[in-house]
Amino acid sequence: MEDSVLLKQVRTKANAWLSDDYDAETRKKVQDLLDKEDTTDLIESFYKDLEFGTGGLRGIMGAGSNRMNIYTVGAATQGLANYLKKEFTKLPQISVVIGHDCRNNSRLFAEKSADIFSANGIKVYLFPDLRPTPEISYAIRKLGCQSGICITASHNPKEYNGYKAYWDDGAQVIAPHDKNIIAEVNKVSSVKDIHFKTNPALIELLDNKIDEQFISDLLTISISKEAIQKHKDIKIVYTPIHGTGITLIPKALKALGFENIIHVPEQDVISGDFPTVKSPNPEEAAALKMAVEKAIETGADLVMASDPDADRVGAAVRNENGEFVLLNGNQTLLLFIYYLITRWKETGKLSGNDYVVKTIVSTELVKKIAKKNGIKMYDCYTGFKWIADVIKQNEGKRTYIGGGEESYGFLAEDFVRDKDAVSACMLLAEIAAWAADNGKTVYELLQDIYVEYGFSKEKGISVVKQGKSGAEEIEVMMKNYRENPMSELAGSKVFFVKDFAKLTGMDIVENERVTLDMPTTSNVLQYFAEDGTKVSIRPSGTEPKIKFYIEIHSKVSSREELAAADAAAEIKIEEVRKSLGI
**Cα atoms in the 13 Å half-sphere on the side-chain side of 381:** 25
Distance CA 503, CA 522 (A): 8
Of 298, 328, 282, 278, give the one whose Cα is nearest residue 237.
298
436 and 302 Cβ atoms separated by less than 8 Å: no
403 and 387 Cβ atoms separated by less than 8 Å: yes
Helix/strand/coil (H, E, C) string of 34-95?
Answer: HHCCCCHHHHHHHCCCCCEECCEEEEEECCCCCCECHHHHHHHHHHHHHHHHHHCCCCCCCE
State phi, psi for 343 to the nearest 5 degrees. -75, -35
42 and 58 Cβ atoms separated by less than 8 Å: no
Distance CA 80, CA 60 (A): 21
State phi, psi for 402 to the nearest 5 degrees. 175, 160
Q: Which helix (H) or strand (E) holds 318?
A: strand 313-318
From the candidates 154, 522, 536, 540, give the one annotated as an active-site residue.
154
Helix/strand/coil (H, E, C) string of 426-448?
Answer: HHHHHHHHHHHHCCCCHHHHHHH
State phi, psi for 139 to the nearest 5 degrees. -65, -35
Of 193, 183, 202, give the one whose Cα is nearest residue 145.
202
Amino acid at 107: R
365 and 456 Cβ atoms separated by less than 8 Å: yes
User: Phi-psi region for residue 3, left (φ > 0), alpha (ψ -120 to 50) or beta?
Assistant: alpha
CA torsion angle for 132, 137, 142, 145 (degrees, to 10)?
130
147 assigned to active site: no
Give catalytic residue positions.
154
